[in-house]
Structure formats: structure tokens, C-alpha cells
Chains A and B, each alone.
Chain A
Amino acid sequence: MDPATDANQPTRRTITIDPVTRIEGHAKISIHLDAAGAVDTARFHVTEYRGFEKFCEGRPFTEMAGITARICGICPVSHLLAAAATGDKILAVQIPPAAEKLRRLMNLAQITQSHALSFFHLSSPDFLLGWDSDPEKRNIFGLIAANPELARSGIRLRQFGQGVIEALGGRKIHAAWAVPGGVRSPLSPETRDQIRQGLPEAFAIAEQGLTLFKHLLDHQLGEELEVFGQFPSLFMGLVSRDGTWEHSSGRNCGGIRVMASDGALVADGLKEDDYASFLAEAVEPWSYLKFPYIKALGPEAGSYRVGPLARLNLCERIGTERADRELLELRQRGGRVVTASFLYHLARLIEILACLEQMEQLLDDPELTATHVRARASVNCHEAVGVSEAPRGTLLHHYRVDANGLIERVNLIIATGQNNGAMNRTITQIARHYLDGQHLSEALLNRVEAGIRCFDPCLSCSTHAAGQMPLQVQLFSADGELLQQRRRD
């Protein structure tokens, strides 16, 4: 980074930040000061728009899994599964048990590979290289220089998850495998055994990540716990019928749960079909990313968080031995309901462990290799809502179709959007803590970025937008004057 400063106008400086920051999509952050020069608010602006909901209109609903998977190259499986679940309801079929288990297996692999990318490659350079290290080196290459084994492990773990997705769907990315009524192809015993062979190494890497991150939390990341998005809020996500950790809508799904920071259940057993009755979306003129909230509580009190931390807060237990041990430790560290957004990182690692354990259980299930994997029917319902837990949180697809199954209306409620309010609160908290006068310091910028990365936002999904993630940070005075700007392209 090479700040370019106009010495004659010390309060009007333009500073360029390079290189690209490590989240997906295009965004801008503005920090607004009050009359006394203190931080009033900070805003996370998402400045791109792609319009998937509109151009899906007129397409057959059977194509929706394939089309919406193209929203993102990181988490296409999430859209694939949510679209297939919505299609099941349009057909009004109950999918074969083997298909449901195979979809679960693919979602577990998807969560594993996405969380591995987030922790090992996108976020660990911050933890391991330090907030004040050279941003040119605070990336995967810097991580390789500092800890090559960790970098290789991250790639291996992601490779394992991607390999499972490819083994099931034929492709690592955009596998057109889940379809309305089930899946296109069963799992052979040989492929099942190949997947099983990769588990021991994956477990070892997950444990390695947990050990490392817990050590860092204990020894050098205490302040981050208090400043990076530590606030009470609601949490929302799926749970199973018996209250255990859930990621898919299937026979065991108990619906959507909403919990307050004090552990009180705000709502439970909510059906995705009724989402419009309990969710609403606020719109701000400065961002394409909407602000969903619990309708009955309004935009402020109804703001909620989704994703790995929410899922761990909502469940009574995970239901597997190793992950439950880690969940207990997480709650000892952060309370029954963990409100520190920085612990999203730890929650991701625990979820990786949970995914691997559940995969191990599924692979031992003889029903997994059954060959009846698809129920067939024609259009029996004209409107349906499907839900799935994406790595970043609850994902809802809502379609209305005509008599021929052609899409008339689409609404997609994306995980990153549901964390929008929390991301804005997080960067406001960080800016208030670290802003030194009217100067956008390197330390502040790095931490603001890292605050956003706690949520691992996928702006490609949430605005249905494509591409990289240039970041622009602007500092405004109380009267709206741009005091300083820094940019990474």
C-alpha cells in the first residue's frame, strides 16, 4: 500500500489500497463521523446487481437448479439443493430416502470445502501474519511463506470436499445432479469407498485448524472477540426435529428456529413456505444488498444473524461425538448463545468437524447406495418454497410457476443478505474502536475488512453478482464531506 497524500489539504486525502481483498463480490465501506468527529455509523455498501430473479422468469422450473447454481462458483451446491427442494414441492413428491441422503452428503461436502476456503485461505492470513502486516503479503502467498503446511492442508481439505461433490455430481462446480424429485444418479459402492478413504486426512486437517485457532484465541485474539461484532442479536436457521444441528430440509428437519441472545426461543418450527409471514426485507438506497428482518419485531429489533455461528447457537447439540465436544468448549468460551461475530471462524471449524463425522455416518448407511434415487411427476403445485443451509446461512428459494411449469416469479433470500445488518453493526463497532481522529489508518482498514470476513460474505450470491471484490473505504464528515478515501482494486 502506498498512500498518496496531499500535504496542503490534510483532511482531504485520497489513498489507494491495493491488492484485492479476500471476499467475493464488489463492495464499498463508508464511515460517517458525527459533529464531534466520532464515528456515527459505518455502512457496508454492495454496489453491483445481477438480476437472476428477473431473468429466470419464463424458464422451466426444472432448469432452476442448473441456472441458480451459476450464481456462484464457491457455493453452487447450495443453490442446486435449494432449487431441487423447491422443485420437489412443485412436483408434490417425497423424494426417495437414498436421494435425500445423497443430497445431505453433497451439502456436507459443500460446507466442508467452503469453510476450508474461508478459514485456511481467506482469513488465516489475518490471524497468522498480523493485522499490521504488509497487505501485499497478507494473503495466501504470505501464508505459504509463514506456514506452508497449513496452506497445503487447507487446499487438501477443500480438495476433499470438492472431490466428494465431483464423485456425486460428476463435476466439482455446477454439477447438475440434484433435480426436482431426487438426484440424477446413485452412488456406487466403489465411489463410496473412495470417499471414505479421504476422511482420515480430512479429520486430521480439521483438528489441526481447531488446535491452531483455539491457541490463537487464547493467546493473541482476545481484543477481536470484544470488538469484531460483539453485540446481542437474534439468530436464525434450521434445526432438526429433536433440536440437533441441521443443514437440509428433509424428513428430520424441524423447521426454522429463531433465538435471542439470552437463549429465549423467539420462534420455532417455522415452515419455509410461510417465510413471507415472518420475514421482511428492508431496502436502503446505498446498497443493492437488502436487509431482511423478523417482520413482527421490525428492522432494528428484528435483525438477525445466520450461518455457522447461528446454527451452533440454535441447536441443542450437534449429534456427533467430536463436534459436540468442540461445541461444549465453544459455549464455555462464549456462553450458551455466542454473540461474538469473530467466533464465526471457530464455528466454521467445528462445522467442518461435524460435516466429516456426519459424512462418516452416512457412508456406513447401506441405504446410501440404493439405486432408486428419483421420483417422477409433473406439475402438481404452482407455488413452492425450498430451503437449505448454505455454508453462509439459510437459503430460501421461492418460485411460482404456470400450468406448464414455466417460472412466473422468483424470490431468492440469500444468507449473506441476512447477515447484512450484522455486518454493518460489526464495521461500525470496529470503526468506533480503531478510528484515530479523522485518519483512515492501515490498522483500521485491515480490521474493518477482517470484520466483514468474519461473515465470509458471498456477494456473488447475495446480489446475484459476479466477480472479484475490490474494496473502497470512504470517511465522511458530519456534513457529508468526503474526508478521505482508500481503495483496493
Chain B
Amino acid sequence: MKRSQALVIGIGNRLRSDDGAGIHVAEAIKAQPTGMHVVLCDQLTPELAECISQARAVLFVDAQMSEADHAPAQSPSAAQLQPLEALASGDPGGHALTPPRLLALSAALYGPCPPAWQLLIPGEQWHVGDQLSARTAAACSNALPLVLAWGARHA
């Protein structure tokens, strides 16, 4: 990526229905001439730390369980940009790398990391399948203008 580009990281598994929401949104952004650098990944890995360190701003786009597992059910339009802070506690080894820990890793390795946000897309179906539920597909559509506006602010 070019230095000082805005970076969008879409996270998810396209073969687990709504878990692929972050990938769907990121792919849609990638298909447009936005000037943003877009990365798609199944999971966050340490190698992304260097890429993050070079970005002007970072946006993580991921699906969010919205049933009993986590927060109360949200409407499709409830996807919101939330600022993120680096979190250096705990061990980031192995599979369990979260956006805050990845930001901390980037800061520790390469110096102050750029401002970061996350955009969580409410999901409801997590079974094997390559289709989003209607509700999550709508949430992805609603999320696109948010990402584009975010990118414009950090162009």
C-alpha cells in the first residue's frame, strides 16, 4: 500500500453465512475507485501490523453476533463506526488476535499507530453457506456509505 492511505480491513469467513459480512463490505469498497487500501482476511494476523503502521487511518469491518451471545439484537441500520484503542494486555499469540491487540502490536513494533475504528455488521446466521441473510445483506448495504464517508474524511 502507499504510505498514508486509509486502510480498510475486512474480516470474516465467506463460507459461514453472515460471518462473511466484513468481507462483503470490504470487497464492495475494493471494487470502487476510493483511494482506500483494502485488505481481506479470514482472521487477523501479526503481519498486518506493518501495514497498519503505514496507514493514515484504519477501519476494521467485521460481523457481530447480535443474538443472545453478545449485545441485544440490533436493526440492520445499527452498524456504527466505533473508535478503537490499542490494548497491549494479554498474550496476542496464536489465533486470538483482536483489532485492539493488533493495534498494540503495530504500535510496539513500528511506533505510534494511526487512529482506528471498527464497523460491526449485525449478523444472525452462522451456518455453513455462502449467502448472507437478508437482514445482514441489508446491513452491509447500509454500511457502505459509512465506509465511503469514513474514507473521504481520511483521504
A residues engaging B (CB < 8 A)? 19-24, 70, 73-74, 121-122, 136, 139-141, 144-145, 148, 151-152, 155, 158-159, 162, 171-174, 460, 467-469
What's the nearest-Cβ distance from chain A to residue B86, in Å? Answer: 11
What's the nearest-Cβ distance from chain B to residue A305, in Å? Answer: 23
**A20 with B46, Cβ < 8 A, contacts A141-B104, A144-B109, A155-B109 known:** no
**A141 with B105, Cβ < 8 A, contacts A173-B41, A468-B95, A469-B94 known:** yes
Contacts of A159 in B (CB 8 A): 47, 50
Please name 7 pairs of A and B residues whose Cβ atoms are closer than 8 Å in the assembled complex, sorted by A: A122-B93, A140-B91, A144-B109, A151-B108, A155-B49, A158-B47, A162-B45
B45 near A140: Cβ-Cβ < 8 Å: no
19 further A-B pairs in the complex, CB-CB below 8 A; given A24-B95, A139-B92: A19-B89, A19-B90, A19-B91, A20-B90, A22-B94, A24-B94, A140-B91, A140-B92, A141-B88, A141-B104, A144-B108, A148-B108, A148-B109, A152-B109, A159-B50, A173-B41, A173-B43, A467-B95, A468-B94
Q: Chain B contact residues (Cβ within 8 angstroms of A): what range?
A: 20 to 34
B67 within 8 A of A: no
Contacts of A23 in B (CB 8 A): 94
Determine the distance from Cα of A74 to Cα of B94 in the docked complex, in whole angstroms: 8
Contacts of B110 in A (CB 8 A): 152
Determine the distance from Cα of A73 to Cα of B11 in the docked complex, in whole angstroms: 14
The digit string for B27-61, where 1 denotes a CB below 8 A from any CB of A, is: 00000000000000111011101100000000000
B96 near A468: Cβ-Cβ < 8 Å: yes
What's the nearest-Cβ distance from chain B to residue A322, in Å? Answer: 25
What's the nearest-Cβ distance from chain A to residue B47, in Å? Answer: 4
Determine the distance from Cα of A409 to Cα of B126 in the docked complex, in whole angstroms: 26
Contacts of B90 in A (CB 8 A): 19-20, 136, 139
What's the nearest-Cβ distance from chain B to residue A196, in Å? Answer: 19
What's the nearest-Cβ distance from chain A to residue B85, in Å? Answer: 15
Contacts of A122 in B (CB 8 A): 93-94
**A158 with B109, Cβ < 8 A, contacts A24-B95, A74-B95 known:** no
B108 near A145: Cβ-Cβ < 8 Å: yes
Picked from A20, A73, A121, the residue with its CB within 8 Å of the CB of B42 is A73
Picked from B43, B93, B95, B108, the residue with its CB within 8 Å of the CB of A121 is B93
**A20 with B95, Cβ < 8 A, contacts A121-B46, A141-B104 known:** no
Contacts of B43 in A (CB 8 A): 73, 173
What's the nearest-Cβ distance from chain B to residue A149, in Å? Answer: 10
The digit string for B96-129, where 1 denotes a CB below 8 A from any CB of A, is: 1000000011001110000000000000000000
Contacts of A468 in B (CB 8 A): 94-96
What's the nearest-Cβ distance from chain B to residue A477, in Å? Answer: 32
What's the nearest-Cβ distance from chain B to residue A350, in Å? Answer: 23
What's the nearest-Cβ distance from chain A to residue B111, in Å? Answer: 10
A155 near B47: Cβ-Cβ < 8 Å: yes
Picked from B15, B42, B47, B93, the residue with its CB within 8 Å of the CB of A140 is B93
B89 near A136: Cβ-Cβ < 8 Å: yes
Contacts of A460 in B (CB 8 A): 95
The digit string for B1-35, where 1 denotes a CB below 8 A from any CB of A, is: 00000000000000100000000000000000000
